[in-house]
């Protein structure tokens, strides 16, 4: 069975988030997993989906109503 999902890693500055993420992703098979790294905090939902689209190679929609394309792309 194949499971899809998102992960979120948060913490204080200097807590080792980036180091932990690199260690975790190092053991993943690149062809089976797509890791997206967004370091900005405080993004609005629209800007978060825009950044996800960019990192997945999708053209971000101009209108907020079109963000469903990115949501669907993120789910696949």
Q: Domain residue spans in the chain?
A: 17-75
Provide the token pair at 8. 């979120």
14 pLDDT more than 90: yes
34 pLDDT more than 70: yes
State how far the alpha carbon of 70 is from the alpha carbons of 3, 16, 32, 61, 63, in Å: 19, 29, 20, 8, 12
Q: What is the pLDDT of residue 23?
A: 92
Handedness of CA 38, 39, 40, 45 (dihedral sign): positive
Q: How many helices (H) and strands (E) does the chain have?
A: 3, 0
70 pLDDT more than 70: no
CB 42 within 8 Å of CB 48: no
């Amino acid at each position: 069975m194949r499971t899809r999902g998102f992960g979120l890693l948060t913490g204080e500055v200097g807590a080792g988030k980036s180091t932990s993420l690199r260690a975790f992703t190092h053991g993943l098979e690149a062809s089976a997993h797509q890791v997206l790294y967004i370091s900005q905090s405080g993004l609005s939902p629209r800007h978060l989906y825009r950044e996800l689209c960019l990192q997945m190679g999708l053209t971000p929609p101009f209108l907020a109503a079109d963000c469903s394309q990115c949501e669907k792309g993120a789910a696949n």
